[in-house]
Every structure is written in C-alpha cells, then in structure tokens.
Amino acid sequence: MKIQNVKEQWKKCEPEYAVLTVLLLLCFAFGAAWILFAPKEDFSEDENRALEPAPKLSAANVLDGSFMESVEAYVGDHFPLRKEFISLYTVSQFAMGKRDVGGNYSAAPAEGGVYFGGEGHLYEVLLPERTGTFEQNAQALANFAEAVDVPVYLLPAPSGSQEQGENLPLFAPNHDQREEFQRLRELAGEEAVVVDVFDDLASINGDYYFKTDHHWNTFGAYEAYEALCGEMGITPTPLDAYNLRTVTLPFYGTLYSKAVSFFQTPDRMYLPELKEEQDIRQYVNGTEEREGIYWEEYLEKKDKYSVYLGGNRGVDVVKNYDVKNGRKLLILKDSYANSMIPYLATNFSEIHLIDLRYYNFNVYDYIEEQGITDAAAIYSVKQLCDVSIANKLIVR
C-alpha cells in the first residue's frame, strides 16, 4: 500500500521537481563517492597548510566525540571542487563590500586578516600589539647590542600595508608601525644603530612589496640593503651590476593563501644574479656545502620565496671567496633577510645567518668562536610583535 502511494505521489510530481530531486541525489552520490574513493592530497599548496587526514575509528574517539569532529574536518578539506568553492566564497565576500578576509577578531589576541587593496595588492591587516611581545623582543635586542663587542645594526622592516596605505580600502583601520620603530630606537639608545627604511620603502618611490606575499620584493630588499650599507659605511654594489632573472609564473604568496580567488593576478619574481660571477657558497646548518644561494627546486613549488637559501633554519653560513676583506657579518633574522643576501654577499667574506626561532645554542659563544666583526638584526616589525625571541638572547 505504501509503495503504491509513493508511485502515485511521484506521478503527481511536477517534472521540474522530479529532475531537481534526481540531480540532488546524483550530486550526493558523486560527493560521497569522491570523498570515499578519489585520490587525496596531504597538503594544500594554495592555503599553505596540511589537510585533515582520514579519520580513524575507535571506541574512545567515538565516545569523546572526536571521531565526528575528524570526519567533519576531513569532508571539509576534501570535498570536490574545493578550491573553486573557496575562490567563489572570497569573490562573494569582495562583491558584498567586505574589506578583509581570513581574520579571527574574536581570538585573544585578535588575528588580523587580509585586505583587498588597490593595484592588485593583498595586505596584512595590522593590529596594535597587546601581548608585550614586541617590548620584550626590542629590549632583548638592545641588551644584545650592549653585550657584544662588535657594532650592531637593527633593521625593522615595515609591512606593505604600512608603506602603501593609499592602496588600502577607504577608512580601513591599520596600526602605524612607526610606533614600534620609535620604541626600538629609544631602547637601543647609543648601543646600536636602528636603520630607518620607512621612507625608502614608501610607495612614492616605487612598488617594493609583492602583491600576494607579505615579503618585500627584489627591489624592496635592495632598498633595505642600500640603507644598511649607508649606516655601515659600506659602498653598496649597484643594482645594474646584476642581471634580474625572471622566475616562471605563477607565484602566489602567503597572503593569497588567506584569500584564494579567481581574480588575483600572480606576482612576478626576479632573482638578482651578478653579471661578473663570484664564488659564493652556502653552508647549510654551517657545514653542508652548496654552490650558490638559490635553491632552484623551490621554483617548482608554491613557496617560491624559499628559493633564497632554501628557507629558514637555525644557522646558515654564506661565504664569498672573492671578497678578501675578512669581515664576518652575523645576521639575526627572519625570512625578510633572506632576499638581501644576494646583495650583502658582495660586501662580506662571510655572512652567518641565525634564525632564533630554530637556534638553541648560545649566540654570544658563537660570535666569539666565529670571529664575527659586525652584527645586524633584520626582522619584520610584525614578526617582532608576533613571535618571541627574547629568551634566546639572554646574556649568560
């Protein structure tokens, strides 16, 4: 009787509703089959993050609810046409007039998102630093400068949204990073030279930042290099001494990972190569020798910025055997410094790069053991606000 009723109801159903029902069922079946049987990726290049692995069933995770949470995350990370739907979401946010995406303003501390800027740029949303991390880091760098017996130069790199404020959405709130610069200068006093690159990198002088990545571009790195050389009393190698090799498109950086969209134009990336070659070698972790400082394999990956030095690690040494001045520069750094090395390598016999996020030894002992003659700290202002390095610079 029930089956007969279903058949009768089906006959009464309008054709368009019947077609829609069948399509929905087919979509559901296709989606389920995709989730169960289609090849899966472990990592999203576009979003620059690991994807949820297949959930594992056990009595414990069923009882505590974590199994269903894992299933939900797995489905969310592997449904069909996922990138296209994410792009569509970003486009819809932009079309509705939303100024930024990817932020978490309910977190403590709040996490800024990404602004849709002018001239095809994406920009970090800069928020005031409320945790005290910058103050601790700045004081630690000042203490470092006082403790060592070599000249110290501090170069805080401003963000693109700081330097290109005219490209931000109208009335978009954005913290002024000059506050951190002035505070660092106050704490450093006479112990270190704080290099001011804010005016040099302002958009009135050019476009010195990638459109889809938070780093400065090849030309921004050169501007910072010139400013640092000026404070050091060094003659910078002119930019026309390099050939600028164009990296194959596309290059989509870290900011794009927060705002994946159809309409975003990829960046153009250039690698400076000396017209008159010099014998420059990189010693990975201080020991493993490589010729040159460019890791070409990264040009085939999303993280193309890691073509410089192969990314970040605790310690690297770059030696130029054609520079005979005996000067050895120590750089405490984040990834902003990496793109300055092609230029700085022409002025120093050795450059010792230490990333305190990954270095767990005594920096002061390292300076003495390696015969360091000059020291610099090159960090983005945002990094100094977000990540603590102060405990690695305690004088012991």
**Of 121 and 102, the one with more pLDDT:** 121
CA distance 326 to 12: 91
Alpha carbon separation from 309 to 30, 48, 224, 282 (Å, rounded): 44, 19, 18, 8
At 171 the pLDDT is: 87
pLDDT grade, residue 44 (50/70/90)? very low
* Residue 395 reports pLDDT greater than 60: yes
**Closest C-alpha among 87, 105, 106, 82 to residue 34:** 82
Say what the pLDDT of residue 109 is. 74
Q: List, as one string, the DSSP characters of 162-220.
A: HHTGGGSPTT-----THHHHHHHHHHHTTSSEE---TTTTSGGG---B-SSSSSB-HHH
In angstroms, the Cα distances linking 162 to 109, 202, 212 are 20, 8, 15
Taking Cα atoms as reference points, which of 238, 201, 241, 196 lies closest to residue 221? 201
pLDDT category at 14 given cuts 50, 70, 90 is low
Mean confidence (pLDDT) of the chain: 85
Question: Which residues fall within 8 angstroms of residue 229, CB to CB, at 6 or more apart?
Answer: 235, 236, 347
Q: Give the integer Cα–Cα distance in Å for 168 and 96.
A: 17
pLDDT of residue 63: 63
pLDDT digits (tens, 9 = 90+) for 276-334: 999 999 999 989 999 999 999 999 988 999 999 999 999 999 999 999 999 999 999 99
* Least confident piece of the model among 71-75, 209-213, 288-292: 71-75
Share of the chain above pLDDT 90, in %: 65
Per-residue model confidence (pLDDT) at position 42: 57
The mean-pLDDT minimum among 175-189, 247-261, 341-355 falls in 247-261
Amino acid identity, position 330: L
pLDDT at residue 50 is higher than 60: no
pLDDT value of residue 101: 80
> Who has greater pLDDT, 81 or 247?
247
Of 156, 255, 177, the residue nearest 214 (C-alpha): 255
- Cα-based distances in Å from 66 to 32, 71, 361, 387: 21, 9, 39, 30
Burial of 45-72, coded b for 16+ CB within 10 Å and e otherwise, reads eebeeebbeebeeeeeeeeeeebeebee
**Percent residues over pLDDT 70 in the chain:** 75
pLDDT band at 49 (very low <50, low <70, confident <90, very high): very low
